[in-house]
Structure 1
Amino acid sequence: MGKHRKAVPSVASSAISSAISSRMTSAAPSRASSPRPAIKPFRFFDLPAELRIRVYEQLLCTRKPLDLDPSNYRLVHPRLSIFLVSRRMYEEAYQIFYGQTIRLFPHPYHGKFFNTKKPLLQRLPVKYREVITSIELLLGPGWHKPPRCHNVLPALGLRDCISLRTLKIWVDCDPTDSIFNGFRGPNATEDTYVWFCVDMLHGILEQVPSMETVQIDHDERVKKQSPLTAALKRKVEEFHKRFGWGPCRNAIKDKDVVDIPGLEKAMASMGISNVNEPPRVVEILA
């Protein structure tokens, strides 16, 4: 049998195949992408100071006061990455972050921090204390046995708060109410916790001469003229500080105040004279 010879491509077929492949190659998009125009960095510090402050507030400020909270790692820690951008941004940003309201003593809901030895203010360096402008004092929780950290000793660092202007007091409950009878513990009276809070307020106002305004707010279960709020208000007036009620207090309608216009309408419907009308003198002739 004769050997089979391999088919040798002709010159014409080779030319046709090379032409087709060259057309397909030219029609297909090139893998090498064209160079994109370089994106210029945004010149943040060219913005006016007012706009930069607004940006910092949107990034750093939280909806609630800064406190020792287990959720800080998730809610607060990511915000602080802006401090690492540059030295100039750090110098501008930290004043905004620590310029928001800071809770003086931990909230009882944060169990492991409520009885801590060092509150947040005491843990901060002096540099950060100097830019604090507002603090919140929470009263009521732990009234039967206040934690040891609830004191205003010099170690707390209040004297370093040279920019502090506003003190916000939130009264969660007033132990002078009769509902707390039998729960005050031995050697404790109705006024024990009241004097404890007044002494604490006295220490704050004494150590922070830059304080201008004291705002008292409370839960709807606490009366506006309760012994605790009244004693705190007197202490504020004693130091000649500006006093005001908080937004929650203003939103609550006093239940112990008589609505005079409504009373007048009710008396008028019954044919009774106005409560503000002076009494009439009727002369009886014998």
Structure 2
Amino acid sequence: MAKKPQASEPSLDASQPELQQPEEPQAPAPSSIDDEINNISIASLTLDTPLIPLRKKPPRVPATPFHFLSLPTELRIKIYEYYFEDDDEVIDLSPQNYKRIHKKLGLMRVCKLLHKEATYYYYGTRTFRIFPTYPGKYFKTKRPLLARLKPRQRECLTTLELRLGPGWNAPPKGWAVNEALGLGDCVRVRKVRVLVECDPSDNIFKGFRRSNGFYEGFSQKLLADVLAALPAVAEVEFDAWSSVKKSGAMMSGLIKVASEAKGVAVRWGPERGWTDADEDEEATVAGSDPNRPLESVPIPGFENLHGILVEA
């Protein structure tokens, strides 16, 4: 019986050639770093993306620095003026100082020359309040703003402000002139502004004031101590809110204190627009006729020159 032909099995004879699998094409070895970068970029892209070789960016040349100190002093002062223009004209002790002022003062840490110029400009062009009026702990603090400044900073001050009225029934204990306040260091202060917010001698305060004449006497002593402690003060500028009369006990007492200070001229601020020739205001200076107008009251050592009291 004939046998069915069987499928031939693969021979294990070494003489027969082996079947070889087709080799996968291999990428040529990169010839340089640029070729490696191109291969990486090609592998990361799809077939539809055009192949654009990566190119190295040229090194960035640093810009030439601006030499601020090479500018004339006048231009640097103008830049300081622009830099500090958003700050208030009157500086008081308040919690907003850290955000509005403290960070800007970092400019003074750049170098000694810039520290000297910026300090001289900033502290010399602003009015600093002697005693704080911000409500709360700042109002009752024993360390007013002047006491927190350094002696070099106080030496640059030119104008101080004394605001009277807050705490008229119970003034804070920190409102006192002493060595810690540092008025002796204010050798360039020529002007003291006195702004009166209220007059407790007015009838509207009757029944609420501590005693008759208490705050008026306190204010007069405070102003006298301030003027005595300043080495070079030459001018006291009075101003007040609309409810305060120049002929009242508060204002007339303060004017008398300023007029008795040696070498101090009395002037009027822009808020009320007072002058020495006011006809509708009558002032009472201690020891004078209450019916006599202020301009007719003689002030020892001073004379009226074009509406301004000047030293004779």
Separation in 2, partners of 1:63, 1:29 = 59
Note the 1:35-46 alignment, pairs <5 A.
Answer: 35-46=59-70
Query: What's 2:22 paired with?
Result: 6
Note the 1:1-286 alignment, pairs <5 A.
Answer: 5-6=21-22, 28=52, 30-60=54-84, 62-99=87-124, 100-109=126-135, 111-185=136-210, 188-189=211-212, 191-239=213-261, 240-250=263-273, 257=280
The C-alpha deviation readout for 1:173-217, integer Å capped at 9, x for no partner, is 1111100001112xx21x221121111111111121311221112
Q: Rg larger in 1 or in 2?
A: 2
Give the TM-score taking structure 2 as reference length: 0.68
Structure (1 or 2) with the greater helix fraction:
1
- Structure 2 unaligned residues grouped into runs of 5+: 1-8, 11-18, 27-34, 43-49, 282-312
Q: 1:53 to 1:106 in 2, by over 3 A?
A: same
Please state how far the C-alpha of 1:34 moved relative to its aligned partner.
2.0
| Contact kept? 2:93, 2:134, Cα under 8 Å | no
Aligned length: 242
Separation in 2, partners of 1:54, 1:242 = 32
- Superposition RMSD in Å: 3.1
Task: Compare 141-150 and 24-33 and name the one that shifted more.
Answer: 24-33
The structure, 1 or 2, with the larger RCO (C-alpha pairs under 8 Å, 6+ apart) is 1
2:75 aligned partner, one-letter code: L
Q: 1:145 to 1:36 in 2, by over 3 A?
A: same
Separation in 2, partners of 1:114, 1:210 = 27
Q: 1:169 to 1:31 in 2, by over 3 A?
A: farther
The C-alpha deviation readout for 1:216-259, integer Å capped at 9, x for no partner, is 121122223332122222222222422222222229xxx9839x
Give the TM-score taking structure 1 as reference length: 0.74
Task: Compare 227-236 and 140-149 and name the one that shifted more.
Answer: 227-236
- Structure 1 unaligned residues grouped into runs of 5+: 11-17, 259-286
Please state how far the C-alpha of 1:9 moved relative to its aligned partner.
5.7
